[in-house]
Every structure is written in structure tokens, then in C-alpha cells.
A and B are shown apart, each in its own frame.
Chain A
Amino acid sequence: MLHLLKIDLKKLTSYRTFWVVCGLYFITLGFTTASGMEFLKWLANKSVEFGANININRIPLYHFPDIWQNVIFVSGFFKLILAFMVVISVTNEFTYRTIRQNIIDGMSRTEFLLSKMLTNVLLSLLSCAMLLIIILVTGFIYSPEIIWSDIFTDAGFMFAYFLEMFSFLSYTLMLGLLIQRSGLTIVVLCLSHMLEAIVKANIDDFAPGIIPFFPMESITNLVEMPFARYAFQEIQDYVSLTSVAIALGWLIIFNYISYLKLQKSDL
């Protein structure tokens, strides 16, 4: 297994685009998630009304345990950047026809897919590690008092985040293998949410029950938007097992389609 990961990393680590895209991803992810309080301060200065009515220090954006869901929810938006890297990595294999040579050189088609999937796992884990650091550091800075039992109360969102990343990257990998061209894959990837929204809007009238089962919807539902709670509204402040089950289902389906596609095609 490690051998397969090594193969894919060898392709990527000497590729400048890989470092640029991943660098941009981790930098934007880090800065955005860590600067929530600075943003609120800026907002308070800018809009007098907002500053006068609300004491921003009383919004527990970075307080344990709220911080887990807050930071992880926002991080979800950035997964698209990482997905672009996966698109480039997969479609390059078709543009350069190196997938063909890899097979000729003695990789099996399954091994090829596994090497790409393992990279997806690694990228998801790195994102998790990055967030863990940001959450712990900012949490300790902004929490007014540290109650040790509170710190890891909502750490379960981290698992949901990993699942969110890995399912989405699996979806991206599948698109890349099916479409094989980087430009078109990126367009379809970016439109996925919108296309699903159109279908959802049309289906809402007669079969709203199946909406949670849509792929993009289920991946997004893993960590729901938390901020309404600061306007005294009910939110889902836990990871629902149904969402996990649905997302896991899609995760398996995406990778199985990739597998079938690779087995059947002439390279």
C-alpha cells in the first residue's frame, strides 16, 4: 500500500503546479479560518451600527467547543481548491498518456486507482492536521477560560470533515477518470452544486424525502452551518449518523465507478 502512495507522490513532488496549488490551499485555509475575530473587528469598525449594537467579544466564535463546528464548516468551502489539484493530477495522466505507460510498466489498473485514492486520503488527512493545529491554537487564544472537558467535546466534527474531504476528492477523481480533460472536468466540478440545486428545486414539490440522499447535499450536510446559533436559532450542532451513512455510501459508489471505468477502458 505504502509502495503505491510512494509512486503517486513521486509524480507530484517534483511538479511545481502541485506545490503552488497546495501552498495556496493551505495558506488561504489557514489565514481565513484563523482570522474570524479580525474579520468581526473590521466589520465593527466599518459599520458603526454593527459595532454599536454588538459586542463582538461576546460572540464565542473561537471558544471551545463551538470552534470545532465553526472552523470546520468554513473550511469546507476551500476543498474545491484541493480538488483542482486532484483534477490536474488525474487528467495529466491521460494528456501525457502516462497511465498507459504505468500499466505497461507493471502496475495493475486497480493499483493505479489505489495510488490515486491513497493520495486523496493523504490530502484529506493533511487538511485535518492543519485544522487541528488552527483550532487548538486559536481556541486557546480566544477562549476566555479553558475548561479541559470542553476542549475535545465536539472533536467528532473532525471525523465528519475527513469524510467530507475524502468523499469530495473521490467524486473529483471519478469525474477526472470519466472526463479525462482538465478544463471540462473543472467546469463540471464547479457546476456540480448548481446542477444538483436545479434538480433539487424541481423535485422538492413531489419527493422532498430523497433530497438528503443527493451526493453534494449529503457531503455538505455532514457539517451544517453553525452561525445561526448566534442569532438564537436552533441548529444541528452534531454530526448526524444518517448523513455519515449517506456520505459513506457515495464515497463507495464514486470509487467503485472509478474502478469499473478503469477496468473497462482501453488506455
Chain B
Amino acid sequence: MTTPVLTVKGLTKNFGKLCAVNQINLQVNQGEVFGMLGPNGSGKTTTLGMLMGVVNPSAGEFSWFGQQPNHHIRKKIGAVLEHPIFYPYLSGQKNLELNATIKQTDFNNIAKVLDIVELTARKNDAYKTYSLGMKQRLAIASALLNDPTVLILDEPTNGLDPMGIAEIRTIIKRIAADGKTIILASHLLDEVQKVCTHFAILRKGNLVHSGPVDDVGKGEEIVEVIAFHDDLPAHLNQFQGTKEIKKDGQFYLVKMNNGFHSAELNRFLFEKGIVVSHLATQKKSLEKQFLEILAENNTH
């Protein structure tokens, strides 16, 4: 088995009395797009800050690529925490040159990463003249500078317009397709579901869930049915996979027992001589799951 990219054990941060991050355990493997979810103030940025050496942990430990963290390892990680940070009076090009000097990497990469985020035309303008979207893109360019194997992005689409969000999302997907490991913190669930393979949920500094995104849809299915037949509810109840039915507008919502799917229901109805005009499986969204998990933890 390959060494995990990141292993976190019992990581804790206290700010005075406030426990911002409480005993977090995590593992991120090569090639994963790992989403960190949580409401504002749940400890996402503090956690990432500790992983990137700007916040001193109160307790616990973590390792990158199986090694003790140090600043040489950070040079191989591209990271943008919270909002983009650059010297406002320097141009985009000069800012990247400075970062390349810090990361001790070749200046040749600068043209390439500026191209990826489509900022080449504005590279000689001062950073302070950039729009928010351009600043975010420059931050991603800067994170890509050293051809990192791991990319950490914290709310990369914060404050962007829909077009900017779509652009950043495309960039992230393109980078993920290159086999890079990405850690993405966000409170936008939709965003995480669209790009991530794995996710973890933080709440008030506690890790309350962690697992693959594909598992989200699993569990009992809910099927929407429309058919012009008077006895439809009765027939639906006869189907052995039906747990309960509910009328919702023009649909009947059929909650299925575990292991039953919409295809079997369709065959059953067809054999009864009922032809459905609408049959669809409701996808359980990450949003629903997220709210469920948070609600579960609220009662504890």
C-alpha cells in the first residue's frame, strides 16, 4: 500500500477557552479530491492552517507523505487559505516571481500557470487592480507554481459570480484529472458533491463524518411515479419492495426497502398492466445528507 498523502492524529487547537479544532483524525490518499465541509466557523481554516504551519497545534500530530512536517515539504504543496494573499503593489508576474523564489522553483513555470488561469494578458498590472475573480485565479496559479502533488484550496469560489464559480470548478476538475490530490474546504455542498471523491464534515471543531462521496446516494431509494390509473396507490402498496408511499403533488413518492430499485418497481407495475408516464429515482443530495448528519449530531 502506498503511503497516505496526509495523516492527521488527534489534532487539536485551543484559542484560550475556545476549542476551535477538537481531536481530529483524518487520512487523505493519493489522487483523492477531498472535500472538507462545515458551517462557517467550524474549524476548517484553522485545521488547514495547522497543516500548513501557520497555526501552532495545541495537541496532536500530522504527517505529510509519511514525514514529519517541515517547510521543505510545504514547498511541494500548493495552498490557498481563506482569501488570496499577495503584495498589492506588485504585479501578478512579480508576485509569482517572489513565490517562485520562496519555493526555489524555476521562473519558467510562471508563464505556464498564468496560461492555465487565463491571466497572461493582465500579468504586468498591479495585483490591487485585479477583480476578485482574477485574484482567486492568481492564487490558484500561485498554488500550481511548483507543480505540486497536493493542492489545498479553501473556499476557492467564495464571493465569485456564477461564471467565475464555473471557471474555477473547471480548473479544479482539470487539475484533478492530472492525478493531483486536492483538499478542498468549502461550505458550498453542491460544489463539493460536483468535484470531490471523498468528504469530511466538521462541526464546532469536531469531525462528525468522513467517507466517499459515492456513498451518499446509497441506502433506501425514493422513486417518483406518475401513472394514469385509479388504483395506483393500492398496486404500489402490493409491491414487496415498498416501504411506504406518499402523495406529493402529481407524484406518488415510493420509499423503497433496502436492495430494491426503480427497475423492479417498473417491471412489477407493467406486469399488472399499468404503464407509467413518469418514473424517476430521487438522488439523495449531499446537502440532505449533510443536514441529516448535522441534525443527528445536534441531538447529542
Contacts and interface: CB of A to CB of B under 8 A. Distances in A.
B122 interface: no
B53 A103 contact: yes
Nearest to A263: B56
B103 A106 contact: yes
A266 B86 CA distance: 19
A107 B71 contact: yes
Interface in B85-140: 85-91, 94, 97-99, 101-104
Chain A interface mostly: helix
Contacts of A28: none
A266 B56 CA distance: 6
Given A6-B101, A16-B89, A104 B52 contact: yes
Interface stretch (B74-82, B185-193, B252-260): B74-82
A97 B80 CA distance: 13
B164 interface: no
B290 to A, nearest CB: 28
Given A97-B85, A267-B55, A106 B94 contact: no
A106 B88 contact: no
B71 A106 contact: yes
Contacts of B54: 100, 103-104, 266-267
B17 interface: no
Most A CB contacts (10 A, CB to CB) among B52, B81, B103 go to: B52
Interface residues of B, number: 29
Nearest to B102: A105
Residue among B90, B99, B102 with most chain A CB within 10 A: B102
A103 B98 CA distance: 13
B17 to A, nearest CB: 16
A108 B72 CA distance: 8
A105 B90 contact: no
B102 A106 contact: yes
Nearest to B51: A104
Contacts of B70: 108
A12 to B, nearest CB: 10
Contacts of A154: none
Nearest to B74: A106
A34 B94 CA distance: 38
A105 B103 contact: yes
Interface string A143-169: 000000000000000000000000000
Nearest to B85: A101
B99 A98 contact: no
B79 A104 contact: yes
A15 interface: yes
Interface in B32-75: 49, 52-56, 70-72, 74-75
Contacts of A6: 101
A72 B298 CA distance: 70
Contacts of B142: 105
A100 B85 contact: yes
